[in-house]
Amino acid sequence: MRKKIVAGNWKMNKTLAEGLQLVDDILKLSNENDEVIKIIAPPFIHLASVAERVKSVKGFEVAAQDCHQMAKGAFTGEVSAEMVASTGTRYVIIGHSERRTYFGENSKLLAQKVASALANNLIPIFCLGESMEDRNANVHLETVKQQLKDGLFSLLPADFTKVIVAYEPVWAIGTGVTATTHQAQGMHNFIRSEINKKYGKVISENTTILYGGSCNAENAKELFSCLDVDGGLVGGASLKASDFVAIANSF
Ligand code: PGA
């Protein structure tokens, strides 16, 4: 089923105490509305504590910002999908543009991460999006199509239905430049039509597609009013409780 989701990606911000304070502030300001799923994605080391904090609160979930593709072993510093799941976390962001850019994560690796997440009953929030160069060269649709194909389209239909897609144009992430509703709706519609071609209408209509990239309390309503935008993946604005809650209330 297509869901309404607002996910807060904290990236590498907040100590444990600061993070738990932010969660408490968010919970205080939120109404218990499980029509919109609010997902908090803190750094790995906060997952268990944040999951414990929100465990009995309706409509709240926790996501990791990444996971390793292998099940276990000698991979110093890494965290497996099984370890993430063992904290009570149910979602995992995979393929964020910062992982692709700064950590060299390519499509082949990301497909392995998706498989590992699904094998451990985690719901992948799979990120994709074009650079400004791609958009200027008018190859943005091609880029996103390729990312979909390489990262997700090897999945069997039953597995694909578990995935959430997040369209995050690289030029909009952390820049204060948001995609226009025309640009966002255009790409979301394109993504849905590619999913339709691959998996059929029922699955494409039921796929949740989030927008990310300078989404904030001011522009969320307009973005979420687009037919094919089912919510947001929010970075900077998720670090302030009142902004995150305002965005979650923007449907
Ligand atoms: P931003 O980040 O909201 O700060 O642009 C979005 C993201 O990276 O998921």
- Contact (Cβ atoms closer than 8 angstroms) between residue 52 and residue 88: yes
Which residue's CA is the nearest one to ligand 1's atom 7?
A: 235
| 243 Cα: distance to centroid of ligand 1 (angstroms) | 13
The domain segmentation of the chain, as residue ranges, is: 4-248
pLDDT digits (tens, 9 = 90+) for 196-228: 999 999 999 999 999 999 999 999 999 999 999
* Residue 153 to residues 80, 150, 163, Cα–Cα distance (Å): 23, 6, 11
What pTM was estimated for this model as a whole?
Answer: 0.98
Euclidean distance between CA atoms 88 and 79, whole angstroms? 14
The reply to whether ligand 1 has any atom less than 6 angstroms from the CB of 9 is yes
Decide: 250 in ligand 1 pocket, CB within 6 A: no
pLDDT reported for residue 240: 98
pLDDT (0 to 100) of residue 55: 95
- pLDDT computed for residue 1 by the predictor: 83
Calculate the CA 188 to chain-centre distance. 14
CATH topology of domain 4-248: TIM Barrel (3.20.20)
Give the per-residue pLDDT at 36: 96
Main-chain dihedrals φ then ψ at residue 169, nearest 5 degrees: -60, 130
Query: Residue-wise pLDDT tens for the chain (251 aa)?
Result: 899 999 999 999 999 999 999 999 999 999 877 799 999 999 999 999 999 999 999 999 999 999 999 999 999 999 999 999 999 999 999 999 999 999 999 999 999 999 999 999 999 999 999 999 999 999 999 999 999 999 999 999 999 999 999 999 999 999 999 999 999 999 999 999 999 999 999 999 999 999 999 999 999 999 999 999 999 999 999 999 999 999 999 99
Does the Cβ of 234 fall within 6 Å of ligand 1?
yes
pLDDT at position 57 is 94
Contact indicator for 190, 236 with CB cutoff of 8 Å: no
Establish whether 96 is a catalytic residue.
yes
Distance 73 CA to ligand 1 centre (A): 32
Options 46, 96, 140, 188, the catalytic residue: 96
pLDDT given at position 31: 83
Cα angle: 31, vertex 35, 179; to 5 degrees:
95
If one residue of 6, 10, 168, 210 were mutated to test the ligand 1 pocket, choosing by the most ligand atoms within 8 A of its CB, it would be: 168
What does the block give as tokens for 41? 């994605």
